[in-house]
Amino acid sequence: MPDFQRPRPADRRPAPPLPPRRPERPANGPGRWGNGAMNDHVEQQQGGAAQQGGAAQQGGAAQQGAVPAAGTYGALATAARTTVATAAVAALPAAVRDSTNADLKARVEAAVTAAAGAAFDGCLAVAMRGAPAPAAGQAQEATQAQVAAARTAYDAGPGVAVGKFGQYLDEVRGQASATDAHVESALTRYTTRTARSVRAYTGIQQSENVELLNFHVSGVRDQANAAQNVEDIVAGEKIQVSAYGNAPGGSVEPDDTVLDAIISLQRTYSFRITELAGGSHSRNSAHYTADAFDVDQLDGAGVTSRNRSVAGFMQACRDLGASLVLGPGSAGHDTHVHAEW
C-alpha cells in the first residue's frame, strides 16, 4: 500500500472529534492506479485529519442563519468597506485608469467597488458568526476586533480575487495592447470570478458544515486537493486537475452549479469533501472538468450503507440537478458518495 504521510492537521478552524471510527479495511495495493480502479478515495485514512472530517455539528447551519444581513454592521464596517473598495479601484491597471471611454471606465470602477464591498461583507459575516444578537430595535455594530479579523480574511481570501482585474485583462489581451473590447472581456471574467470567490469563501471554505481534505486519500500530494481547489476559487483562479493515474492534469474553470449545490447542501448536512477536480478517478470522469465532488464523511460519521443521512443526501443532490449520484451499493462507492452535474 502507499506509504501514507500523516496528513497535516487542518489549519482552519478546530473541529470537534468524530465518534470513534471502526477499523477500516486495508488500502489496495500500489498497482491499482493502472488497473482501472474506479476511484482513488475508496481507501480511508485512520486517525489524523480523518478524525476531524465531517465533524461539524448540526448547529452550525443554525448559527450561520443568525448572522445579520451584510452591509448592516455600523460605522466601523462601513469605513473598512470603503477603504478596501478605494484601494481596489486605485489598483486598476493604467489601461482602465487612463481610458478615455468614460462609460466603460465607470462600469469597471463600479464593478470593482461592488466586488470589494461584497467580499468584505462576506468576510465580516464570517468574522461575526456567533456574535450575540443586538437588543431589540438595535442595529448590529461590528467591533474593532471583528472588523480587523474581516480585513485580515479579506486580504488573504476574496480580496485577492478583487485585486485581479489587471491579471484578467492581461490574460484576455495576450500580447496585444488593451482595447475596450479587452476591458469588456476582462470585466465579464472579473465579475464572474469575484462573485464565485465570495460564495466559495462564505459557503464552502468557511462553512462550519464543510470540511475539505487537503491531500488525496491516495497519498499523492499536489495542488489539486479539495482544499486547494477551493482556495484557488476564492483567489479568483481556475482549479488544478491531478496528473497521476487516469487524471489528465491541467486546470479547469470551476463549475458554479456544483459549487452552488455544495453551498445549498451544507445548510442541511455536514460533510467532508474528499475531491473536487483532483484525484485519479475513472477515465473521462466528471471530476476532471470540475463537474463532480466526492463526500466520505456525512453528519459526523463515515459514508456507509448504515449512515442514515446518506439516502437523504443523495436525493438532495439529485434534487439539485445532479445527473449521476453514486453511493453505498454501487461498485467502488461503498464508503463515499459521488455526485456529478
Binding site for Zn ion (CB under 5 A): 294, 338
The three three-digit cell numbers of residue 14, written as one number: 478546530
State the sign of the Cα–Cα–Cα–Cα dihedral 158, 266, 124, 213.
Answer: negative
- 141 Cβ neighbours under 8 A, 6+ residues apart: 73, 74, 75, 76, 77, 134
Query: In terms of CB distance, is 113 or 214 closer to Zn ion?
Result: 214
Query: In terms of CB distance, is 208 or 294 closer to Zn ion?
Result: 294
Query: In terms of CB distance, is 77 or 210 closer to Zn ion?
Result: 210
- 320 Cβ neighbours under 8 A, 6+ residues apart: 260, 261, 264, 265
CB of 281 to Zn ion, least distance (A): 6
Nearest to 289 by CA among 249, 234, 230, 325: 249
Query: In terms of CB distance, is 169 or 339 closer to Zn ion?
Result: 339
CB of 287 to Zn ion, least distance (A): 6
CB of 336 to Zn ion, least distance (A): 7
CB of 243 to Zn ion, least distance (A): 17
* DSSP codes, 116-166: HHHHHHHHHHHHTTTPPPPPTT------HHHHHHHHHHHHHTHHHHHTTHH
Query: In terms of CB distance, is 237 or 294 closer to Zn ion?
Result: 294
Cα-based angle 28, 33, 37 (whole degrees, multiple of 5): 70
Query: In terms of CB distance, is 71 or 219 closer to Zn ion?
Result: 219
Distance between alpha carbon 189 and the CA centroid of its chain, in Å? 18
CA distance 248 to 278: 10
Within the chain, residue ranges assigned H as helices are: 59-65, 75-90, 94-97, 102-127, 144-156, 158-162, 165-173, 180-200, 226-234, 256-265, 310-319
CB of 291 to Zn ion, least distance (A): 10
Query: In terms of CB distance, is 70 or 337 closer to Zn ion?
Result: 337
CB of 301 to Zn ion, least distance (A): 19
CB of 276 to Zn ion, least distance (A): 9
The three three-digit cell numbers of residue 287, written as one number: 471530476
> Which residue's Cβ has the minimum distance to Zn ion?
338
CB of 228 to Zn ion, least distance (A): 17
Query: In terms of CB distance, is 151 or 338 closer to Zn ion?
Result: 338
| 322: phi then psi, degrees, rounded to nearest 5 | -60, 135
Query: In terms of CB distance, is 255 or 294 closer to Zn ion?
Result: 294
CB of 202 to Zn ion, least distance (A): 25
Question: Does residue 232 contact residue 266 with C-beta atoms inside 8 Å?
Answer: no
90 three-state secondary structure: helix
